[in-house]
Amino acid sequence: MNRKDQAKPKIAITIRSFDLDGSAMQRLREHCDVVYVNTTGGRLSEKDLGKILAGADGVIAGTEKITGPVMEQAGTLRVISRVGVGLDSIDLEAAKQRGIVVKNTPEAPAVPVAEHTVALIFALLKNIPLYNARMRSGDFSVLPASTLQGKTVGIVGIGRIGSGVGRLLECAGCRIRFYDPFVKPGFPASWERAATPEELVAGADILTIHTGPLPSGKPLIEEKLLSRAKKGIIIINTARGSLFDEAALCAALESGRIAGAALDVFSVEPYTGGLLRFPQVIVTPHVASNTREARLQMEEEAVSNLIEALDVKR
């Protein structure tokens, strides 16, 4: 029997949004049998995932949690192709034990996430969300603002996204400092390397996080580190919700240690917690990479990764 005579592998699309009319979907249908598409608009639960993936050969996934028990219930799963960068929602050890290939799409999100980060910084410094809300209610009072040029920016992690943020902010006249214990030489000579996170926050006007979760699962930005921060610092997180102790962040905002914060990711999503009560906090619903251009590229890459891993090119 040749490959054309074989049954197409069964694929589930569990990510909460996928362009069903785009070229990526057309190519996926050409090579595979799409047996499920998440049209709920929400993130699927582990209980639902187990049932949905039962009998599937591959999955186009988002940030839903694909745990060992989910994989066990899936039974025939061979490939998890993630639309996006982070893999902390997938039990990689369980996948390895079961011989399941796990792929992601690290290139496409780099530019939009870097742009989103810089947009959040501008919005905080210029009070744009506050002005927008106040004017709509008839309040035309003036708030103190800050100039970006001349600020010292501390970047935790200078991979694809962190280095992109650094380049954009250096063009705006910022001094760039970073902490990254894994980076190799080759970063711009004008950028300064901090030896510890404590050293980085002590001298930063702006702190932005672009690293993966800690192996321990504990937050990087917690009470002790925040106590070392320069008073009036603003903090941005477009990386991982698990990196922040949100209660400690609330306390630092309450005390004035932190002047403002902007977050796109949270420990629990959708987020309804205490940070929402602070007017100096900007929140976005985990959408930093969600531009039309990047989204299409990620979907194309995810489908390519899936087809390649399943070896169903025809």
At residue 86, the pLDDT reads 82
Q: Residue 42 pLDDT more than 90?
A: no
Could you tell me how many residues make up the chain? 314
At residue 217, the pLDDT reads 86
Which of 43, 210, 240, 295 is flagged as catalytic? 240
Known catalytic membership, residue 210: no
Q: How far apart are CA 65 and CA 49, in angstroms?
A: 8
Ordered strands of the 233-237 beta sheet:
192-193, 175-179, 152-156, 206-209, 233-237, 258-263, 281-283
Q: Is-contact 240 88, C-beta < 8 A?
A: yes
Alpha-carbon separation of residue 52 from 10, 12, 126, 140 (angstroms): 11, 7, 46, 52
Q: Residue 19 pLDDT more than 50?
A: yes
Q: Is-contact 212 238, C-beta < 8 A?
A: no
Cis-peptide into 270, omega within 30 deg: yes
Question: What does the pLDDT look like over 123-178, one tens digit per residue?
Answer: 999 999 999 999 999 999 999 999 999 999 999 999 999 999 999 999 999 999 99
Label residue 215 exposed, middle or buried (CB < 10 Å: 0-12, 13-18, 19+).
Answer: exposed
Question: What does the pLDDT look like over 217-241, one tens digit per residue?
Answer: 899 999 999 999 999 999 999 999 9
Q: How far apart are CA 288 and CA 299, in angstroms?
A: 16
Q: What does pLDDT average to over the chain?
A: 93
- The fraction of the chain above a pLDDT of 90, given in percent, is 86
Known catalytic membership, residue 240: yes
Which of 286, 299, 300, 301 is flagged as catalytic? 286
Domains and CATH numbers, the chain: 3-108+292-310 (3.40.50.720), 110-283 (3.40.50.720)
Which of 72, 254, 269, 293 is flagged as catalytic? 269
